[in-house]
Amino acid sequence: MLRNNIQKVIEEAFRQGIAEGVLPDVPIPASHQVVSPKQEVHGDFASNLALITASEAKRSPRDLAGCLAKILEVNPLFHKVEVAGPGFLNFFVAATWWQENLRTIWGAGDSYGESLTGNGQLVHLEFVSANPTGPLHVGHGRGAAVGDSLARVLKAAGFSVETEYYINDIGNQMRTLGTSVYLRYLEHFGHDVEFPKDYYQGDYIHDIASIIVSREGNKYLDTPLESCLTSFIDTAVEIISSDIRKDLEEFRVHYDNWFSERTLHDSGLVDKTISELQDKGYMFEEEGALWFKATALGDEKDRVVKRSNGVLTYFASDIAYHRHKLERGYDLLVDIWGADHHGYVARVKAIIKALGYQEDKLQVLLVQLVNLLEGGKIRAMSTRAGEFVTLREVLDDVGSDAARFIFLTRRCDSHLDFDLDLAKRQSQENPVYYVQYAHARLSSVFRNAVEQGISLAEPQDIDISLLNTPEDIKLLKQLDALPCLVADAALALEPYRVSYYLTKLAGQLHGYYTRHRFITDNPDLTQARLLLAHVTRIVFRKGLELLGVSAPEKM
């Protein structure tokens, strides 16, 4: 986590320069950034401090940078500090520092990569929340991977996280679901029924009907729909929910809470919240319906909360649900939705404001749709027609590891082409194996070491200065970057960065592996390299764990 140290060192040097009168007395802007430059010739880290203070200081950036460099170059952390380009400060870190850092990582062990960046702030993460009207499809899978991995990343970065699945277990579509099953139930007994097009068409409806048949026989045959609908709904929801949970479990997605929409109504919170918003003047009646004045809070339309037939809309539940979440005392709410729900963002933000909170209390991440490719062709997906590729199907086909990794290789607001053939292929083209293989190779090195009776010494007894080739230093730098990367990914709510990091680390490890041997004729060198291998393995395990992907010891 050298980057943060360097930032502090630079800012201290700046204050020192002010005290000595060689630098102008201006504040350090919050936009001061220490970054690792794209180009190696620009050093290990670069600072833009001189550039961003120049105008306020009324001095040239290069002039300021020069003064800073003079103060900083005596620091033993650096072997070189230079002024470059328009006024960047480039820092070249001494090799001994990178080598020394190996012991730090060793000491941190499995907790390496974690930080206190989040300061224990409480984050609520809601994701997937698919209606229990059918199995999860690939799109939900992407949301699940993103949400679960984000939770892991946030925790590692020192946030407290609660994950939650919101279950829409009430309302119109529950009626439709129950009726769909009821009709299939009648069909089962040879009744000729007309099955409406906009009802749930999927095969799983037949399956549920069969289960009811085997459990309860024909007892509902002579019962009018109205008096048995509830039990059809309950059974359907029970079966579908439990399948959803099974799928998520196999996908290594964990939830702290399962939140039922029904409880919002039963507890009276929906009515209570609506009447409070009414008192605040955010509601009005028109044409017999009750409306939420969303346009007053940045939405483009006002939204119906209670229809003229007296039935509450889903939006009414959303209002109560978000109020419930807000009052549970989180510092931040994160909702992860499919991108097709983007039209909802403004109205939910309007709720947040109406309830008296800052709108940035809620961050909505929109996960773009997934194109599933098979044989080079896109498999079309339509939800109600029942023609969708389920998450279950993908899991059975390519496995949890490949699926999760692929879902987490792209920024979530970019469309994702999920190539089923590629995901199954065990080769270079498949990024999962590339990373996992790196971990397996390292594990294999240790198996060989044990066979040869070599065990790793205590780090303080190892001559780490032997790790001095360019490949060593590159690897050491990459290992150092993990905690910063995790912290950045957490703050940006972008778990995909971890997969990028790991792919790059794997590349470096594979390069190292072909060029150098870990177990050599020289016992001292072997110890140093085994320490490097050990620590690199720690980082792979950590990174893969953050993605929810396994780290196999053999492949």
Residue 57 in the binding site for RNA (CB under 7 A): no
- Nearest approach, Cβ of 431 to RNA (angstroms)? 7
Selected from 513, 525, 545, 550, the binder of RNA by CB under 7 A is 513
User: What are the φ/ψ torsions at residue 124 (nearest 5 degrees)?
Assistant: -105, 130
Residue 39 in the binding site for RNA (CB under 7 A): yes
Site for RNA in 334-353 (CB under 7 A): 339-343
Q: Could you tell me the two tokens for 342?
A: 């983007």
CA separation for the pair 64, 87 (Å, rounded): 8
Residue 497 in the binding site for RNA (CB under 7 A): yes
Selected from 293, 488, 545, 550, the binder of RNA by CB under 7 A is 488
Residue 196 in the binding site for RNA (CB under 7 A): no
Q: Which stretch binds RNA (CB under 7 A): 182-190, 218-226, 243-251, 512-520?
A: 512-520
Site for RNA in 353-392 (CB under 7 A): 366, 368-369
Q: How far is CA 328 from CA 124, 231, 268, in A?
A: 9, 33, 17
- Nearest approach, Cβ of 2 to RNA (angstroms)? 12
Q: Which residue has the tokens 């293989």?
A: 437
Q: Which residue has the tokens 């939650």?
A: 164
CA separation for the pair 269, 260 (Å, rounded): 13
Q: How far is CA 298 from CA 276, 303, 333, 348, 482, in A?
A: 20, 12, 19, 10, 40
- Nearest approach, Cβ of 24 to RNA (angstroms)? 17
Closest CA to 26 of 72, 81, 64, 62: 64
Q: Which residue type occupies 347?
A: R
Site for RNA in 87-146 (CB under 7 A): 88, 90, 131
Q: Which stretch binds RNA (CB under 7 A): 10-18, 135-143, 420-428, 541-549?
A: 420-428
CA separation for the pair 441, 505 (Å, rounded): 13
Q: Please give the torsion angle defined by the CA atoms of residues 173, 179, 180 and 181, in that order, rounded to the nearest 10 degrees.
A: 120
CA separation for the pair 426, 263 (Å, rounded): 47
Angle at the Cα of 174 from the Cα atoms of 168 and 176, rounded to 5 degrees:
140
Site for RNA in 250-279 (CB under 7 A): none
Selected from 58, 197, 215, 554, the binder of RNA by CB under 7 A is 554
Site for RNA in 440-469 (CB under 7 A): 440-441, 443-445, 447-448
Site for RNA in 164-183 (CB under 7 A): 168, 171-173
Residue 74 in the binding site for RNA (CB under 7 A): no
Residue 428 in the binding site for RNA (CB under 7 A): yes
- Nearest approach, Cβ of 425 to RNA (angstroms)? 8
Q: Residue 260 or 444: which CB sits closer to RNA?
A: 444
Residue 307 in the binding site for RNA (CB under 7 A): yes
Q: Which helix (H) or strand (E) holds 162?
A: strand 160-167
Selected from 52, 240, 332, 398, the binder of RNA by CB under 7 A is 52
